[in-house]
Amino acid sequence: MLPTASFLELGSIFDNLCVEQFSFSVLYKDFCFVLVLSIFGINLSFSQDSLITVTAEKGDGILSLLRKQGMNPYERYDDFIAMNLDNLRDSVHLYEGRIYRIPFIEDDSVVVVDSLERQAKEIKKIEGEYHSIFGEGNETVLPKSEKLKGAVYYLVSGHGGPDPGAMANYAGKAIAEDEYAYDITLRLAKELLAHGATVYIIIRDENDGIRDDRILEIDHDEVAYGGKTIPLNQLARLKQRVNIVNQLHRKHLGQFQRLIVTHVDSRSKGQNIDVFFYHHEKSKNGKKLAESIHKTFQKKYKKYQPNRTYTGTFEDRTSLYLVKKTHPAMTFIEIGNIRNKKDQRRILDPDNRQALAKWISEGVLLDFEGGEIGPIR
């Protein structure tokens, strides 16, 4: 009998090999896995519980549903969507009362000949990287590809420390821009790391990590990269971020480098806005990055919300201090209006925050595939 760990190890290896070569559903991957084991001369049997279904209850999201099944929801999030895409609203929301398939669950009923253990030892083990910044239960980043290998990304979430940014009220509690911008930034960082990128998280909160709460508690203990205290004065705060990014940029001269700044806007309560993007007016690469993410959002809206027009734009906004002063090609993202009820749903729902990070990362991948290396912008 092969120990469960060894079986999981082989399964993880196969998943990574398949993802590199094909685009297919999880069911097909399971079939391929069995096929490869057969090629190795390995016989196995699965219990009927290997693939199960569950009914979504009121209040369930993908993350909470997977967590109820004893899974790490971030490791199986993409698999779940692939298996249930035709049964999801806007590609990320469950319908109450509908039945959903759960990704393959390994159990003790898997029977494998003893030779598998010897063969498994010859296969290189695929391990994730540990990053404590993502918080308990989210520290491990499992590799998805090496598509961003060699690329460097600087991620700056808006405000932080003594400045919470835009404020609003929800269900009788205060919510702050910096907490939601930071959570989306962490999720984006994890996506980029999974594709082999080097990632610098410039504004950091070692205590928060990725959070699946709707209301994110406000604190003021964020620091800048290197453990630097964030100044209260706005100009000093912006200069600090510019200096950190530009110093790191010099360190990585000659590499593909991009900066992504994430904010949540504040406007009148009645103004519902889409996600939109800014870039430097003279930055060809910055414009391409903004446009690539913008195109990804257009594509997603067209596919998952065909009855709604996406009105988000990308445009130059060189008047913004970080856009004007930082050296890497960059985009400045406004997620929505924190005071608007519809936009609040976009940031309060953890599944929405995960989807935003995922869509931004897909735009980043699109940009990198045709990107250019330049010393500045």
Sign of CA dihedral 144, 145, 147, 148: positive
Other CB atoms within a 10 A radius of the CB of residue 47 amount to: 12
Q: Taking 90 as the threshold, does the pLDDT of residue 376 lie above it?
A: no
Kindly state the average pLDDT of the residues 26-48: 43
d(CA 253, CA 193): 20
d(CA 175, CA 215): 7
Tokens representing 16?
């990574």
Kindly state the average pLDDT of the residues 21-32: 40
pLDDT of residue 182: 98
Q: Taking 60 as the threshold, does the pLDDT of residue 146 lie above it?
A: yes
Residue 181's H or E segment, with its range, is helix 177-194
pLDDT of residue 306: 76
Side-chain half-sphere CA neighbours of 287 within 13 A: 8
pLDDT of residue 203: 98
Contact between 169 and 338 under an 8 Å Cβ cutoff? The reply is no
d(CA 147, CA 365): 8
pLDDT of residue 270: 58
pLDDT of residue 61: 87
Q: Which amino acid is at 118?
A: R
Quick: pLDDT tens for 177-236.
Answer: 999 999 999 999 999 999 999 999 999 999 999 999 999 999 999 999 999 999 999 999
Kindly state the average pLDDT of the residues 95-121: 61
Side-chain half-sphere CA neighbours of 371 within 13 A: 30
Give this prediction's pTM.
0.74
Kindly state the average pLDDT of the residues 302-330: 87
pLDDT of residue 271: 60
Confidence band of 274 (pLDDT split at 50, 70, 90): confident
d(CA 312, CA 331): 14
Confidence band of 272 (pLDDT split at 50, 70, 90): low
d(CA 105, CA 127): 19
Confidence band of 339 (pLDDT split at 50, 70, 90): confident
| Mean pLDDT over the full length of the chain | 81
Does domain 129-369 correspond to CATH entry 3.30.420.340?
no
d(CA 232, CA 220): 11
All CATH 3.40.630.40 domain ranges of the chain, comma separated, are 129-369
Instruction: Average the pLDDT over each of 55-64, 106-115, 217-226 and give the range with the smallest value.
Output: 106-115
Q: Taking 50 as the threshold, does the pLDDT of residue 42 lie above it?
A: no
Tokens representing 208?
């928060």
